[in-house]
Amino acid sequence: MSTLRFHAIKETLNRKPLHIEENERRSAIFGSNVFNEATMRQYLTKVAYKSVMDAIQNGTKIERVVADHISTGMKEWAISKGATHYTHWFQPLTGATAEKHDAFFETIGDGLAIEKFGGDQLVQQEPDASSFPNGGIRNTFEARGYTAWDPTSPAFIYGTTLCIPTVFVAYTGEALDYKTPLLRALQAVDNAAVAVCKYFDKNVKKVNASLGWEQEYFLIDSALAASRPDIVLTGRTMLGHSPAKGQQLDDHYFGSIPSRALAYMRDLETECMLLGIPVKTRHNEVAPNQFELAPIYDEANLAVDHNSLLMDVMDKVADRHNFKVLFHEKPFAGVNGSGKHNNWSLSTDTGVNLLGPGKTPMSNLQFLTFFINTIKAVNDNEELLRAAIASASNDHRLGANEAPPAIISVFIGSQLTSVLNELENVTTGKLSPEEKTDLKLNVVGKIPDVLLDNTDRNRTSPFAFTGNKFEFRAVGSKANCASAMTVLNAIVAKQLIDFKAEVDMLIEKKDMKKDDAVFNVLREYIKKSKNILFEGNGYGDAWHKEAKKRGLSNNKTTPEALKAKVSKKAISLFEDLGIMNKIESEARYEIEMEEYVLRIQIEGRVLGDIARNHIVPTAVKYQNVLIENVKGLKEIYGTGFKKHAKEQMVLIEEISEHIESINSNVTKLINARKTANTISDIEKKALDYCHKVKPIFDDIRYHCDKLELLVDDELWPLTKYRELLFTK
Ligand code: ADP
Ligand code: MG
């Protein structure tokens, strides 16, 4: 009997849901481990409090002396909550979060000690970060990296550690993390959007990008997960025959949540409440053992931090419940994978959602301005947006007939389509008073009613308008949202800057009224953005053909998709907006290509090992059983044995054929890797891994999965799909 697998299964049989107490209302504990506004008022001097609020709201610098006051208040608060350590918490380009804990404790001589946390420690640290990916930045400049406090994301206590969200940059200023370019992109979109808002409302001083992510994940029993080397090392199953029952009955989606999973969710949600992550929604997803969780949306930088923190908390809470969380985009073949929808909008400090239709024609013209500019931004930068969500694991999802395809398109619904069609016919040049009245009454003025009825949702679209926000659905479940959010906000910023320049030009040079100029520019944008609008089925073959005709990109794999990040256009876009210089863009490209290679390389090794060391020996063992059986039959029946041993002998041959195919393919795989590894150019190397190495995975898997169906279940060493997916 295959011990590990059956041992693991046995362990799961005794699992009970943990008892979770929720004694207090969630609203009462919300944010109690966060150094938020209320806590700051209590623990900081007036000057210190004002200084932090100023930094948050207006981006002003915090004076060194004041930083000392802030750190003291923070320390007092943290210690009162049981914290013993502090850490700068940051998001290096590994995708995970990083932290290095230091104790508050410090000796002061004479055998005495105190708890200390000065402004210096709050504001800046220099982690020994030489092992984080840097794409050659630090080598080139021989510079060290440092972390610097981001006051716009509040400090929080996790466990017994005070965590201070920080950026991570090289001494020469280049960003080494996800947060820095995101903050710069958010600043860019703020500036650009405020300038455009001034056409409609002079009082607007700040525009915030908002993000509401929806996180999909699988929950697998920890013992079962640990019994699979592929899950442990790659986060996904690299082989395994599909179970007799998968998701075809649709009986999991929105079904009642299994009790162990529910206990996990309640425990997790309590942790989220303490950390100020406003989680609100939980439900079963389409695949068995797949779930989703979503918060109330927040300012984008904070929401990104919350999502990164959440993934970490999810792992930790899962330990208590004997679960392993799979964030991989495609942990199981044959059932749905996981994504992370990024709901995005822009809102003003005057409380207006710029992608929400308003009550007056004027506010609706503002809505249309931001709506159409976003569409134009996506139209002009679809390839870059695709690149923003590229990863080895997300490749399994995009284009795999379950998730949005690798083609970026925008869905807006039939009613808004007809609004755009009307606007497309606006007169060129100055509008007559009659036309303007007509537009205001019958087109622009009608939008709120229109949207209320606009309930058709196209689930196959990667970028859909959903009434008061856009939903970017192609983001991977494992991804750091910052990647998608940096690009989206950057391209919209750039677009708004161009828009403002064009409108101003018409006002100044063509003597147009503001409204006329806005209508004129929007009309041209609608014409130019037609290609990106698609209302049909994004999964269908017809769309692939149509998209090709329209000239939209269809970069199916990561190495192909990532190139858009270092196109001339992308580099100057980021440079012009002050988001990333050329070195930073190129470094990121290199890091991501390198990561792609490493992921495929690891997968190749794992698959080769499992195939040769687990599957083949098992098949041989079973084949020997059959051989013994045939020999025995021969002994009993003599020459007539074949009549009784026929099926066994067929099986023996089939097994041999599969073993042979596995072995030859593993050898082929190893050789393909060797060849790829000799290539020094990272682009060529990644392409080689993509097109020469990775396809062999499928051949190996095919034969292993066939053997799974032939070999005695008692001997099979790998926990099967039905066990992984249906153990609750
Ligand atoms: P679904 O897309 O699953 O039907 P909803 O449309 O109700 O669900 O909302 C999905 C997510 O959109 C929620 O997490 C919510 O917080 C977020 N959301 C709602 N409004 C905004 C907004 N203005 N900006 C960003 N996210 C938003
Ligand atoms: Mg959604």
Find the angle CA(531)-CA(535)-CA(537) to the nearest 5 degrees: 110
User: How many A from CA of 471 to the centre of ligand 2?
Assistant: 7
Instruction: Render pLDDT for 679-695 as a digit per residue (tens, 0 to 9).
Output: 999 999 999 999 999 99
User: How many A from CA of 161 to the centre of ligand 1?
Assistant: 32
User: Rounded to whole angstroms, how far apart are CA atoms 100 and 102?
Assistant: 7
Residue from 303, 359, 345 nearest 193 by CA: 345
Lowest mean pLDDT among 119-128, 246-255, 371-380: 246-255
Q: Give me the domains of the chain, ranges plus CATH numbers.
A: 31-173 (no CATH), 187-580 (3.30.590.10), 595-726 (1.20.120.1560)
Instruction: Render pLDDT for 228-267 as a digit per residue (tens, 0 to 9).
Output: 999 999 999 999 999 888 887 777 777 889 999 999 999 9
What pLDDT sits at residue 196?
98
Of 469, 471, 473, the one to substitute when testing ligand 1's pocket (max ligand atoms within 8 A of C-beta) is 469
Q: Which atom of ligand 1 is nearest to the CA of 457?
A: 4
The residue whose C-alpha atom lies closest to atom 11 belonging to ligand 1 is: 212
Instruction: Render pLDDT for 608-655 as a digit per residue (tens, 0 to 9).
Output: 999 999 999 999 999 999 999 999 999 999 989 999 999 999 999 999
Instruction: Render pLDDT for 283-340 as a digit per residue (tens, 0 to 9).
Output: 998 899 999 999 999 999 999 999 999 999 999 999 999 999 999 999 999 999 999 9
Q: Which atom of ligand 1 is nearest to the CA of 355?
A: 23
Instruction: Render pLDDT for 515-541 as a digit per residue (tens, 0 to 9).
Output: 999 999 999 999 999 999 999 988 888
User: How many A from CA of 476 to the centre of ligand 2?
Assistant: 13
What pLDDT sits at residue 399?
64
User: How many A from CA of 27 to the centre of ligand 1?
Assistant: 20
- Structure-model confidence comparison of residues 58 and 408, the more confident one: 408
Contact predicate 324/221, CB 8 Å: yes
User: How many A from CA of 477 to the centre of ligand 2?
Assistant: 13
The tokens describing 297, both together, are: 């949306």
User: How many A from CA of 138 to the centre of ligand 2?
Assistant: 39
The residue whose C-alpha atom lies closest to atom 14 belonging to ligand 1 is: 212
Average pLDDT over residues 683-709: 98
Q: Does 434 score more than 80 pLDDT?
A: yes
User: Which residue type sits at 708?
Assistant: E
- The pTM (predicted TM-score) of the whole model is 0.96
Mean pLDDT of the chain: 93
Count other Cβ atoms within 10 Å, centred on residue 540. Answer: 13
User: How many A from CA of 467 to the centre of ligand 2?
Assistant: 12
Q: Which atom of ligand 1 is nearest to the CA of 212?
A: 26
What pLDDT sits at residue 248?
79
User: Rounded to whole angstroms, how far apart are CA atoms 411 and 466?
Assistant: 9
Q: Does 456 score more than 90 pLDDT?
A: no
Q: Does 716 score more than 90 pLDDT?
A: yes
What pLDDT sits at residue 139?
59
Bridge partners for 339 per DSSP:
476
Q: Does 417 score more than 70 pLDDT?
A: yes
Bridge partners for 533 per DSSP:
410
Instruction: Render pLDDT for 586-596 as a digit per residue (tens, 0 to 9).
Output: 999 999 999 99
Count other Cβ atoms within 10 Å, centred on residue 493. Answer: 26
Q: Which atom of ligand 1 is nearest to the CA of 214?
A: 14
Q: Which pLDDT band, with edges at 50, 70 and 90, does 453 fall under?
A: low
User: Rounded to whole angstroms, how far apart are CA atoms 686 and 272?
Assistant: 38
User: How many A from CA of 344 to the centre of ligand 1?
Assistant: 8
Q: With 0-12 CB in 10 A as exposed, 13-18 as middle and 19+ as buried, what is 16?
A: exposed
User: How many A from CA of 357 to the centre of ligand 1?
Assistant: 16
User: How many A from CA of 342 to the centre of ligand 2?
Assistant: 8
428's CB contacts (< 8 A; 6+ apart) are 520, 523
DSSP conformational letter for 548? H
Task: Note the residue count of the chain.
Answer: 728
User: Rounded to whole angstroms, how far apart are CA atoms 719 and 10?
Assistant: 12
The tokens describing 704, both together, are: 């292993």
Q: Which atom of ligand 1 is nearest to the CA of 280?
A: 14
What pLDDT sits at residue 131?
74
Q: Does 363 score more than 90 pLDDT?
A: no
Q: Are strands 410-411 and 463-465 parallel, antiparallel or unpaired?
A: parallel
DSSP annotation string for 31-90: TTTB--HHHHHHHS-HHHHHHHHHHHHH-PPPPHHHHHHHHHHHHHHHHHTT--EEEEEB
Instruction: Render pLDDT for 344-357 as a digit per residue (tens, 0 to 9).
Output: 999 999 999 999 98
Q: Which atom of ligand 1 is nearest to the CA of 344?
A: 25
Q: Which ligand is nearest to the CA of 212?
A: 1
Residue 399 backbone zone (phi > 0: left; psi -120 to 50: alpha; other: beta): left
User: Rounded to whole angstroms, how far apart are CA atoms 128 and 22?
Assistant: 41
Handedness of CA 562, 568, 573, 576 (dihedral sign): positive
The residue whose C-alpha atom lies closest to atom 13 belonging to ligand 1 is: 212
What pLDDT sits at residue 143?
55
What pLDDT sits at residue 266?
97
Q: Which ligand is nearest to the CA of 472?
A: 2
What pLDDT sits at residue 392?
96
Contact predicate 587/135, CB 8 Å: yes
Q: Which atom of ligand 1 is nearest to the CA of 213?
A: 14
For 222-317, strand residue ranges (E) read 279-284, 290-295, 298-299
- Structure-model confidence comparison of residues 439 and 405, the more confident one: 439
What pLDDT sits at residue 172?
81
Contact predicate 357/364, CB 8 Å: yes
Instruction: Render pLDDT for 539-559 as a digit per residue (tens, 0 to 9).
Output: 888 999 999 999 999 999 999
Lowest mean pLDDT among 448-452, 563-567, 600-604: 448-452
Q: Which atom of ligand 1 is nearest to the CA of 296?
A: 16
b/e sequence 388-409, b meaning 16+ C-beta within 10 Å: bbbbbbbbbbbbbebbbbbbbb
For 338-429, strand residue ranges (E) read 340-348, 410-411
The tokens describing 62, both together, are: 């915090």
Q: Which ligand is nearest to the CA of 467?
A: 1
Q: Are strands 463-465 and 470-472 parallel, antiparallel or unpaired?
A: antiparallel
Ligand 2 ion: Cβ-proximal residues, 5 Å cutoff: 341
Lowest mean pLDDT among 90-94, 448-452, 500-504, 674-678: 448-452
Instruction: Render pLDDT for 62-86 as a digit per residue (tens, 0 to 9).
Output: 888 899 999 999 999 999 999 999 9
The tokens describing 48, both together, are: 């210190």
Q: Which ligand is nearest to the CA of 296?
A: 1
Count other Cβ atoms within 10 Å, centred on residue 640. Answer: 11
User: Rounded to whole angstroms, how far apart are CA atoms 380 and 113?
Assistant: 60
The residue whose C-alpha atom lies closest to atom 26 belonging to ligand 1 is: 212
Q: Which ligand is nearest to the CA of 294?
A: 1
Q: Which pLDDT band, with edges at 50, 70 and 90, does 449 fall under?
A: confident
Instruction: Render pLDDT for 140-199 as a digit per residue (tens, 0 to 9).
Output: 544 578 899 999 999 999 999 999 999 999 888 889 999 999 999 999 999 999 999 999
Residue from 313, 278, 282 nearest 297 by CA: 278
User: Rounded to whole angstroms, how far apart are CA atoms 288 and 290?
Assistant: 5
Contact predicate 257/283, CB 8 Å: yes
User: How many A from CA of 297 to the centre of ligand 1?
Assistant: 7
Q: Which pLDDT band, with edges at 50, 70 and 90, does 138 fall under?
A: low
User: Rounded to whole angstroms, how far apart are CA atoms 164 and 475?
Assistant: 27
Of 208, 296, 297, the one to substitute when testing ligand 1's pocket (max ligand atoms within 8 A of C-beta) is 297
The tokens describing 337, both together, are: 């994978």
User: How many A from CA of 212 to the centre of ligand 1?
Assistant: 6
Rounded percentage of the chain residues whose pLDDT exceeds 90? 82
Q: Which ligand is nearest to the CA of 485?
A: 1
Handedness of CA 719, 725, 726, 728 (dihedral sign): positive
Contact predicate 518/510, CB 8 Å: no
User: How many A from CA of 343 to the centre of ligand 1?
Assistant: 6
Q: Which atom of ligand 1 is nearest to the CA of 295?
A: 14
Of 343, 348, 473, 481, the one to substitute when testing ligand 1's pocket (max ligand atoms within 8 A of C-beta) is 343
Residues with CB under 6 A from ligand 1: 210-212, 214, 294-297, 343-345, 353, 466, 468-469, 471
Q: Which atom of ligand 1 is nearest to the CA of 353?
A: 23
What pLDDT sits at residue 141?
47
User: Rounded to whole angstroms, how far apart are CA atoms 210 and 301?
Assistant: 8
Contact predicate 292/310, CB 8 Å: no
Q: Which pLDDT band, with edges at 50, 70 and 90, does 454 fall under?
A: low
Contact predicate 282/293, CB 8 Å: yes
Q: Which ligand is nearest to the CA of 473?
A: 2
